[in-house]
């Protein structure tokens, strides 16, 4: 029997509202190639960057932040956040691995590429572990927290290019992806700054304060328009 309550719990943990923040990095490198809509690769990749990638990204983050999230009211918003306890997250690693391994195996089999796509997963998993989990927990050690959102989204971009056999982006698009990823990251830090600071999570937004964070975000947006 399916445990619908548990399925709903993991779905909420994956932040469906935030899936839309990941998908553009999958779509942008394709350059409006409408012919790809008729391919299995496009839809399989699109599905992969919804629940599987998000449950890895946000699930590991929730495992690291159980001490903070219980005080953060934004984590109570339906399908945006979670206030899970450590006991509720005990089976999460299994869900992360199974939900990622199944589509990755299908992609690797059908593309006959058993190196690139597992490597992308290994890079993404490593970034999430370094960012969130002790003894690293670089999310709490500004300014190192700034490195991970751009790196993670560039992995998504490169994955999409490899899957669809389109050229990897040059410097200009990469600067756009980096600045837009940092913008989203800093907006998230800004929204949490009042809850991170009292409990010792020293993000860049906590370190430089709200005013300079807003200035930084403005500068990043300007870069995207250049």
**Which structure tokens are listed for 110?**
């059908």
Contact 45, 37 (CB under 8 A): no
Across the chain, what does the average pLDDT equal?
A: 93
| Cα–Cα distances in angstroms (integers) from residue 111 to residues 164, 170, 211, in the given order | 10, 24, 48
Range 4-167 has CATH code 3.30.70.260 = no
Segment 93-116, tens digit of pLDDT:
999 999 999 999 999 999 999 999
**What's residue 124's pLDDT?**
98
Segment 66-98, tens digit of pLDDT:
888 777 777 666 666 677 888 999 999 999 999
141: helix, coil or strand?
strand
Alpha helices (H) in 28-91, listed in sequence order: 40-48, 51-64, 66-69
Segment 4-50, tens digit of pLDDT:
889 989 999 999 999 999 999 999 999 989 999 999 999 999 999 99
Percent of the chain scored above 90 by pLDDT? 84
pTM: 0.93
Query: How many Cα atoms are found within 13 Å in the side-chain-facing hemisphere of 2?
Result: 4
Map out the domains of the chain as residue ranges. 4-167
């Amino acid at each position: 029997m399916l445990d619908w309550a548990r399925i709903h719990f993991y779905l909420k943990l994956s932040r469906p509202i935030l899936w839309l923040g990941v998908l553009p990095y999958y779509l942008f490198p394709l350059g409006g190639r409408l012919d790809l809509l008729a391919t299995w690769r496009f839809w399989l990749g699109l599905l992969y960057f919804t629940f599987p990638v998000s449950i890895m990204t946000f699930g590991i983050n929730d495992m690291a932040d159980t001490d903070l999230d219980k005080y953060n009211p934004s984590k109570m918003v339906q399908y945006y956040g979670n206030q899970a306890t450590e006991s509720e997250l005990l089976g999460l690693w299994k869900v992360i691995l199974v939900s990622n391994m199944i589509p990755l195996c299908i992609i690797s089999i059908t593309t006959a590429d058993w190196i690139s796509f597992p490597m992308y997963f290994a890079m993404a998993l490593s970034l999430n572990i370094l960012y969130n989990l002790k003894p690293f927990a670089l999310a709490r050690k500004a300014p190192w927290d700034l490195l991970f959102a751009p790196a993670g989204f560039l992995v998504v971009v490169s994955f999409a290019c490899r899957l669809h056999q389109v050229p990897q982006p040059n410097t200009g698009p990469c600067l756009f992806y980096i600045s837009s990823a940092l913008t989203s990251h800093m907006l998230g830090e800004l929204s949490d700054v009042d809850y991170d600071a009292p409990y010792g999570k020293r993000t860049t937004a906590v370190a430089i304060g709200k005013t300079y964070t807003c200035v930084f975000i403005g500068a990043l947006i300007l870069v995207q328009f250049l």
